[in-house]
Structure 1
Amino acid sequence: MTGWSEHKAAGISYLERAGTGPVLVLLHGIGSRAASFTPLLAYLPAEYRVIAWNAPGYGNSDPLDQDWPVAADYARALARFLDQVVPEGQVMLLGHSLGALMAASFAAARRDRVSRLVFASPALGHGMARGGTLSAAAQSRIDDLERQGAEAFATARAARLVFAPEANPETVALVRSAMSQVKLPGYAQAARMLASGRLLDDAERLSVPTDVIVGAEDRVTPPEGAERAHAALPRAMRGRLTLLPEAGHAIYQQAPARFAAALELSPVPAAL
């Protein structure tokens, strides 16, 4: 796995590329894993320290204790994790899809730890009360994984995350590979968190500069949702809203170079 080293801290397995510059922390989505960010790595400034976590219940990360966690539960897990791997200073935090819900909850509670926030193809959440009846969409995710198994589950779903999948089989294969690694109970916990998520509520509370990036052809979290998330941000915190053409939900896998360019990462001073 070129560029990465594997570690575990605070019950979280993660990948890291060492660097002496700013710290960029990457949070994947519901059907993904830390290694999904590998195509992006080559386009990030070499000086940046890059950390990609496997969310609780993914990869070798321990699942959460709650059967139905909310975004704040993942944010607390992220706080414990960062207190060990980045004990001082601030990080730039990027959350993709479901990861945006986790990132927003963390940044709203721990402004002191985040220098900049990026929502990539953000999931808004379904706004359900914890413990109620799951929406059909959320319940079907869990049922399909249980019934089909991870390999068939990934095969059935991967193409939908890619723009023009028939013309981009390599990207579909990357998405399928990551999705085929999901497992219970982690995936079920994440699906329930998605059902109760309220990204717009957390976005309104943010006091961190925040950018939003979405694929113009995203069918999973369409641009309209990203626009709503951007509009919900306090005006002083509202950064760029970028639509990448010819990119679907798996935006940093389908268009890693253009995604990295949209981040507009600050150059690292020579002293670092």
Structure 2
Amino acid sequence: MAAEISFPIETPRGSHTLSVAYERAGKGEPLLLLHGIGHHWQAWEPVLGILAAERDVIAVDLPGFGTSRALPEGVSYDLAAVRSVLGALCEALDIERPHVAGNSLGGLLALELGREKLVRSVTALSPAGFWSQSERRYAFLALRAMRLGAESMPLPLIERLSRSAAGRAALTSSIYARPGRRSPEAAVAETLALRAAAGFHQTLAAGRDILFTDDVPDVPVTIGWGTRDRLLLRRQGIRAKQAIPKARLVRLPGCGHVPMNDDPALVARVLLDGSR
């Protein structure tokens, strides 16, 4: 069962207490795992056991996602605000400069933490922020369609679809190249997480003008991109490499936008190599 921690955050309207859910396992150097928009910490379950053999792994529900509380009213979900929350979370968990790995939105946040030198290393899997305007509009349209689909389906239909590989493909093929590998329980849970994500629309609104163009000096960076990513096309990885010249760009054959489920062994090896 995931734990929950509460800690103070500073906002333009004063100090507030925020509660964040997380799963922690393993021993070793700390490794913070950040999921994508509309997902939850369970996105990392396929690799959690492998990583925990060598790392103190902390997989978190970002504010407004999973079972973590939404940010206080009036607080933006922009990079600076969420970066500040993650810094406060690490302080509350007594983690000093962890390694960080993130997927999609989580990858963008991981790079932001690296840019501010708050972490030891960064591994970003299909990170947001390296898109053209047309690619961003396509991705946001696809995400809104996924959200609308999750909202429109009654729970009995979601559960019925989850029981077959074809049904799980209907639920999750936008993010997985091999959706049939996802368990029925996980497919239901992440569909419900997408439907209930309080920070979904605010995060999209904050991301409209984001382009990650800065280098991340003095912090080791690994960028992984699935060859079958249908949401953020893999040519965006080339732009990421151009922005961060010293980054290691890794191809993830046969993987979709959320590669941890498509090839857990490969993704775990990339994450462990990136945090060495």
Check whether the contact 2:178–2:262 (CA below 8 A) recurs between aligned residues: no
In the other structure, the counterpart of 1:209 is: 220
Q: Distance in 2 between matches of 1:217 and 1:51?
A: 27
Letter in 1 for 2:202: Q
Secondary structure, aligned partner of 2:230: coil
1:207: how far off?
3.6
In structure 2, relative to structure 1, the CA distance for the partners of 1:193 and 1:125 (3 Å cut) is farther
Residue 28 (structure 1) aligned with residue 35 (structure 2): yes
In the other structure, the counterpart of 2:120 is: 115
The Cα offsets for residues 213-258 of structure 1, whole Å up to 9 and x where unpaired, read as 111111111211122112211x3xx232111111111201111111
Taking the TM superposition and a 5 Å limit, the aligned residue runs for 1:1-272 are 5-10=2-7, 11-19=19-27, 21-65=28-72, 66=74, 68-87=76-95, 89-109=96-116, 111=117, 113-124=118-129, 158-165=172-179, 169-171=180-182, 173=184, 174-175=186-187, 177-182=189-194, 183-198=196-211, 200-201=212-213, 203-233=214-244, 235=245, 238-265=246-273
Q: Which moved more, 1:219-228 or 1:154-163?
A: 154-163
In structure 2, relative to structure 1, the CA distance for the partners of 1:144 and 1:197 (3 Å cut) is farther
Check whether the contact 1:72–1:106 (CA below 8 A) recurs between aligned residues: no
CA RMSD of aligned residues (A): 3.1
Q: Distance in 2 between matches of 1:189 and 1:219?
A: 23
Check whether the contact 1:124–1:197 (CA below 8 A) recurs between aligned residues: yes
In structure 2, relative to structure 1, the CA distance for the partners of 1:126 and 1:265 (3 Å cut) is closer
Q: Distance in 1 between matches of 2:113 and 2:121?
A: 12
Check whether the contact 1:44–1:260 (CA below 8 A) recurs between aligned residues: yes
Q: Distance in 2 between matches of 1:149 and 1:193?
A: 29
Q: Which runs of 5+ in 1 are unaligned?
A: 129-134
Letter in 1 for 2:191: M
Check whether the contact 1:57–1:63 (CA below 8 A) recurs between aligned residues: yes
The Cα offsets for residues 134-175 of structure 1, whole Å up to 9 and x where unpaired, read as x756665665565557886x975511212154xxx1327445
In structure 2, relative to structure 1, the CA distance for the partners of 1:116 and 1:205 (3 Å cut) is closer
TM-score calculated relative to the size of structure 2:
0.77
Q: Distance in 1 between matches of 2:192 and 2:111?
A: 27
Q: Distance in 1 between matches of 2:183 and 2:130?
A: 25
Q: Which runs of 5+ in 2 are unaligned?
A: 8-18, 134-139, 163-167
In structure 2, relative to structure 1, the CA distance for the partners of 1:143 and 1:197 (3 Å cut) is farther
1:55: how far off?
0.4
Letter in 1 for 2:6: A
Secondary structure, aligned partner of 2:36: coil
TM-score calculated relative to the size of structure 1:
0.78
Q: Distance in 1 between matches of 2:51 and 2:105?
A: 22
The Cα offsets for residues 196-216 of structure 1, whole Å up to 9 and x where unpaired, read as 332x22x42544110001111
Q: Distance in 2 between matches of 1:23 and 1:95?
A: 14
